Amino acid sequence: MRKKIIKIMSDVLELPQGDIDENVSPETCEDWDSLLHISLVIKLEKQFQVTFLPEEVGELICLEAIFKIIKNKTEDKNG
């Protein structure tokens, strides 16, 4: 799952996959604006077949947070 998230973040943020780590966030990536954030949210929802709540959208600001939220959503859905 983490590799898929990194791939999506890489595609949306136009960064090499090797540059996507726990430090990438809107504060460290100058191109990460609100439009890119919405694109990221939409791609994550489609890839993982989840829907984020409005409060979760604001929390999707780094690899670890994205991973945890998607993991919780997919576990809830599957089990």
Domain membership of residue 18 as a residue range = 2-78
Number of independent structural domains in the chain: 1
How high is the pLDDT of residue 76?
Answer: 73
How high is the pLDDT of residue 67?
Answer: 97
- CATH number, domain containing residue 34: 1.10.1200.10
How high is the pLDDT of residue 79?
Answer: 57
Tokens coding 62:
């780094």
Each residue's pLDDT tens digit, 20-77: 999 999 999 999 999 999 999 999 999 999 999 999 999 999 999 999 999 999 987 7
53 by Cβ neighbours in 10 Å (0-12 / 13-18 / 19+) ranks as: exposed
Start-to-end CA distance of the chain, whole Å, equals 17
Q: Could you tell me if 9 and 24 are in contact, meaning their C-beta atoms sit under 8 angstroms apart?
A: yes
Q: Could you tell me if 60 and 52 are in contact, meaning their C-beta atoms sit under 8 angstroms apart?
A: yes
Q: Could you tell me if 16 and 10 are in contact, meaning their C-beta atoms sit under 8 angstroms apart?
A: yes
Please tell me the pTM assigned to this model: 0.92
